[in-house]
Amino acid sequence: MIEARALTKRYGSTTAVDDLSFTVVPGRVTGFLGPNGAGKSTTMRMIVGLDRPTSGTVTVNGEPFQGLGRALDEVGALLDARAWHGGRSAYHHLLCLAQSNGIGRGRVQEVLGLVGLSEVAGKRAGAFSLGMGQRLGLAAALLGDPGVVICDEPVNGLDPDGISWIRALLRSLAAEGRTILVSSHLMSEMAQTADHLIVIGKGRLLADASMAEVIAAGPAGHTVLRTPQPEEFTRALRGRSARVEAGIDPEELLVHGLECAAVGDLGAALGLTVHGLAAQNPSLEDAYLELTRESVEYRISRGHETGPNDSGARR
């Protein structure tokens, strides 16, 4: 269990983390989301004692990190995947960590197997690809068989196989009753991995809710219609109180407030031609963009960089 209470971190005039309170509970994967600069890494560093809060507290299993006895047995963290001596082999890197933390050699082989690095364990870690480096970082995090695992952007540099492997690993660690906190900027990936979300912006809490609740609070889904008769269809749809927006080309309409079947039936009743009809379900990405709209420092919009209050930033 991780508990943050009124956690605050200032660097000079920058408030990186601002009065943040949340609890990360065992048995599920908690996603940690927020735009660049939101304070995710700073929060994670404070959890594992690499940064000191300006005020407030954060504890792991009820203790501040400094108060944990054998820290690696309690909490494992993948924060900076390149935090090792490049000249050492993967095996020796892990062995050094194990020996300085009272962990047996057998566990080194075990975690190498767990992250799929057994065959390259003797190779110099400095020559590893980013993806292999992430695996080695995870192996180090899991060395003490900790009940709490924290990963900052663990899928960075992994190929699709690696991404689905890490998703399965994090889910199985949570299923074993561990506390898992993971950040990622890939919303589609997070949607498949996390059960619960903590979303922050400019250091402040924006949401602490289940995945389903966050998605349900976002924009509703819509129907994407392709038709060679967009004007006629638009008139008919508005007559049924639907809201209609232009799509990516003149043949595409985005219909809000009327489901696919009803749009198709309307076309059939009026003799209007339908070239395509698809339901666009509510997504984490849309919910996240809406939630963090005011918190992003810069957003790219129609080829221009715009400030946070530019209402044209999203379709």
- Which residues here bind ligand ADP, judged by CB under 6 A? 11, 14, 16, 34, 36-42
CB of 211 to ligand ADP, least distance (A): 20
Cα–Cα dist 122/4, whole Å: 40
Q: Nearer to ligand ADP by C-beta: 29 or 198?
A: 198
Q: Nearer to ligand ADP by C-beta: 14 or 301?
A: 14
For 266, half-sphere exposure in the C-beta direction (CA atoms, 13 angstrom radius) is: 21
Q: Nearer to ligand ADP by C-beta: 161 or 294?
A: 294
Cα–Cα dist 278/238, whole Å: 19
Q: Which pair of tokens denotes residue 172?
A: 């199985």
CB of 36 to ligand ADP, least distance (A): 5
CB of 107 to ligand ADP, least distance (A): 30
Nearest in space to 14 (alpha carbons), one of 313, 297, 305? 297
DSSP annotation string for 131-163: HHHHHHHHHHHHTT--SEEEEESTTTT--HHHH
Q: Which pair of tokens denotes residue 62?
A: 């009820």
CB of 151 to ligand ADP, least distance (A): 13
| Ramachandran bin of 194, using left for φ above 0, alpha for ψ from -120 to 50, beta for the remaining angles | beta
Q: Nearer to ligand ADP by C-beta: 14 or 172?
A: 14
Q: Nearer to ligand ADP by C-beta: 50 or 97?
A: 50
Q: Nearer to ligand ADP by C-beta: 42 or 193?
A: 42
CB of 181 to ligand ADP, least distance (A): 13
CB of 224 to ligand ADP, least distance (A): 33
Q: Residue 44: CB partners within 8 Å, gap ≥ 6?
A: 32, 77, 79, 150, 152, 181, 183
For 27, half-sphere exposure in the C-beta direction (CA atoms, 13 angstrom radius) is: 1
